[in-house]
Amino acid sequence: MARGLWLAALGGLAALYFHGTVMSTIELMDEGQVVYSSWRVAEGEMPYVGFHQLYGPSVFFVNGALLKLFGVDLRVIRLSLVALKALVAVLVYVLTRRVASRPVALVLYGLLVAIWGMPIWLFNTPYATYYATALSLAGLLLASAERARWIASGVCMGLAMTFKQTQGIFAFLAIVLFVIVMTPPRAGPATHAARARQWAGGVRILALGGTLAFAVAYVAPHLATVSAILMLAPLAVLVAGLVVREMAGWPPHDPAIAGLGPIALVSVGAAIPVLAYVALYWRIGALAAFVHDTMVGLPQQIAWFVPLRQPELATVCLTATICASFALVRRLRRGNSLTGPLLVCVGAIAGLLVDRARNPGLRPYLLSGRWMTDFFGVLPGVPFFAVGVGALALLGAARRRQAAAATGRPDAGGDDQLGLLVPFAAITVLQLYPSADLPHVAMVLPAFLPLLGYAITRRVERDGPMAAGLALAWLAALSSPFLGARVALSRETFQARFDRASGISGPRLDDAARVVRYLGDAAAPGGDLLVLVDQPMLYFLAGRRSALSGDEYVFYVVGAGYMVDQVARTLVDEQDAIRDLARTRPVVVDRRGSVESTRFRRTFPSIARFIDDTYRPATSIGDYQVLVPARDTPPG
């Protein structure tokens, strides 16, 4: 009871903090493509039938249901994300608590809340990642409980797949690896027949090989790049080590054979939600469209890759300072010479200051808080550090287990949770493909915080209160740019307001708000709308359906630069589109000269030519042009 109240309090605190930024900024492109599609579902359309989409169907059904039940308002979706993110924060705390002390778990819970509470649209957009993360963490907890609930865990992973396919599959594979890690092939008696043992060993090897093969296929388009290799490396090393262990213990003994049971149960559970959607789309005759958009077809046409950035000099210096500071504490506690780490620390700080003296200058860097932004560069290193520390600890635990078995001593245990967290973190590194930028690192951070907590707790146990204070200080510094951004935005006021986004506003949205008001004016032509500038949120905010709704997702990825022109032309029949435009005569919103409009016109020249030939400006609002069919243009 007390534990439940404590977790509820943590969830409530996180929700209060997130609620403070729920009305901060609107993103017209990325957020728009999810919210507009969800609105279409609320209006009765089916994903992949009425429109193309890459995400799994659940994100649209969930948000569509919210809009249907509580009103067509962006605030409804934003508030639901407050609860969802608070749940993730609590789940991270619970998982971290299994391998770390309570104070460390609380600090890392606070770090996640600080990052996800940054007042920008990124952390208020209903990305499928947030839903899949909550389900994946819940599945981990169910699988690692004292009495594991394998089918329920599998259902969580299957549901995660229906939000974000790859994330759910990776979480499912992490459970498979967990079972194999925790059932060594040479543990226990070997009473089964040799043929049965060999068959079971083959299944285990096949599961390991299949996991790695799926990961390689996922990054295959950029497998030759350093970035893709680094993302694949943690999982590849883990799988290779397990294969070597399997071969050394061939054929497996009874516990390893029994481990196939949980894998089968998790597989059954994971299949249930996926098969439910397969049955639904088969029943309405749209199974081919469902498979094309979510599995084999549309995903393979996306040409998007943001590699890991080479660390800047300031990031290298800051990282060296962090490492050297912990080395100083350890040597001070043991009474060893401080010369080495002290020289590294002083040299790294000097290098950082010299680099920043050039740009932006030491005064603004130190006095106006510019130093905080350097911690953004450290964040992408957290996943690799956490996985590395966790993998070494898992290897050490295996050695201790072997030594205990050889000497007949009971195994002290205590590291079993690493068998769950390390595979999950190692395979989650792949979620940084195809985009390994800072926003995506921040979004998948929950997978790595428990292992980071483990590393900090072990260091504190070895080096005492000084190490604890140092870790707390560095984690607070890591939170500082996110907290600073919240303070800065809280001082700003924005004028833009939207009827379908009550209370939500943001910078540089005044023109968009005026366009939406114009489109809602009774004097403006009614009917459908076509936005050429890759801002699908305008459809939702204006309450107008896209005139080419079935092609809208292709327009979105073209405008964002995520699809090659020739591929996009194979997915959109320009002549059919022109016939639809001639029939519906929608209002067109453009921003001639913008990158997005230029991409649209280059990719779909026939559509652009039709609009130029048959449309005339009705009004200009900032950089926007509102176009209507020539015969609808007011005289004069």
State which of 451, 485, 519 marks the end of a domain: 485
CA angle (31, 33, 37) in 5-degree steps: 120
Lookup: tokens for 68: 């249907």
From CA 450, how far away is CA 425, in angstroms rounded?
9
In this predicted structure, what is the pLDDT of residue 18? 96
**31 & 79 share domain:** yes
Q: Tokens 């920043």 appear where?
A: 356
Q: State the average pLDDT over residues 28-50.
A: 96
In this predicted structure, what is the pLDDT of residue 413? 46
Q: State the average pLDDT over residues 193-198.
A: 90
Render pLDDT for 254-277 as a digit per residue (tens, 0 to 9): 999 999 999 999 999 999 999 999
State which of 323, 343, 368 marks the end of a domain: 368
496 pLDDT tier (thresholds 50, 70, 90): confident
From CA 478, how far away is CA 456, in angstroms rounded?
14
In this predicted structure, what is the pLDDT of residue 632? 58
State which of 330, 347, 368 marks the end of a domain: 368
Render pLDDT for 87-141 as a digit per residue (tens, 0 to 9): 999 999 999 999 999 999 999 999 999 999 998 899 999 999 999 999 999 999 9
The residue type found at 217 is A
**607 & 536 share domain:** yes
Highest mean predicted confidence (pLDDT) among 60-69, 193-202, 296-305, 583-592: 60-69
Q: Is 108 exposed, middle or buried (0-12, 13-18, 19+ CB in 10 A)?
A: buried
Instruction: Confirm if 436 and 311 have CB atoms less than 8 A apart.
Output: no
Inside any domain, residue 188 = no
pTM (predicted TM-score)? 0.95
84 pLDDT tier (thresholds 50, 70, 90): very high
Inside any domain, residue 490 = no
User: Could you give the residue ranges of the DSSP H alpha helices within 98-224?
Assistant: 102-116, 128-144, 150-163, 165-181, 194-219
Q: For residue 466, is pLDDT > 70?
A: yes
In this predicted structure, what is the pLDDT of residue 636? 40
From CA 606, how far away is CA 225, in angstroms rounded?
37
Look at the chain and report how many structural domains it folds into.
Answer: 3
Inside any domain, residue 502 = no
For 191-215, give the DSSP string: -S-HHHHHHHHHHHHHHHHHHHHHH
In this predicted structure, what is the pLDDT of residue 488? 72
Q: What are phi and psi of 26, to 5 degrees?
A: -130, 135
Beta-carbon contacts of 402 under 8 Å, excluding residues fewer than 6 positions away, are none
Render pLDDT for 408-444 as a digit per residue (tens, 0 to 9): 555 544 467 899 999 999 999 999 999 999 999 999 9
In this predicted structure, what is the pLDDT of residue 203? 96
Q: State the average pLDDT over residues 610-627.
A: 94
**410 & 550 share domain:** no
**83 & 169 share domain:** yes
CA end-to-end distance (rounded Å), the chain:
74
Inside any domain, residue 515 = yes
From CA 127, how far away is CA 122, in angstroms rounded?
9
**297 & 396 share domain:** yes
Inside any domain, residue 80 = yes
Number of residues assigned to the chain: 636
Domain region containing 324: 313-368
Instruction: Confirm if 61 and 5 have CB atoms less than 8 A apart.
Output: no
Across 237-263, b (16+ Cβ under 10 Å) vs e yields ebbebbbebbeeeebbbbbbbebbebb
Lowest mean pLDDT among 208-222, 359-373, 589-603: 359-373
**40 & 21 share domain:** yes
Inside any domain, residue 205 = no
Q: How many CB atoms lie within 10 A of CB 359?
A: 9
Render pLDDT for 136-181 as a digit per residue (tens, 0 to 9): 999 999 998 878 899 999 999 999 999 999 999 999 999 999 999 9
In this predicted structure, what is the pLDDT of residue 409? 58
**275 & 171 share domain:** yes
User: Could you give the residue ranges of the DSSP H alpha helices within 312-379?
Assistant: 313-334, 339-358, 362-367, 374-378
Across 562-601, b (16+ Cβ under 10 Å) vs e yields bbeeebbbebbebeebbebbeeebbbbbbbeebebbbbbb
**290 & 150 share domain:** yes
**468 & 605 share domain:** no
From CA 48, how far away is CA 183, in angstroms rounded?
42
Inside any domain, residue 241 = no
**471 & 534 share domain:** no
**453 & 561 share domain:** no
Helices 165-181, 194-219: inter-axial angle, 10-degree rounding:
150
CA angle (377, 382, 388) in 5-degree steps: 140
From CA 191, how far away is CA 341, in angstroms rounded?
55
Instruction: Confirm if 34 and 125 have CB atoms less than 8 A apart.
Output: yes
Helices 30-42, 552-560: inter-axial angle, 10-degree rounding:
170
**556 & 627 share domain:** yes
Lowest mean pLDDT among 54-68, 269-283, 339-353, 503-517: 503-517
For 600-613, give the DSSP string: HHHH-HHHHHHHHH
Q: For residue 452, is pLDDT > 70?
A: yes
Task: Please compute, for residue 496, the number of CA atoms within 13 A of its CA located in the half-sphere on the CB side.
Answer: 21
Inside any domain, residue 198 = no
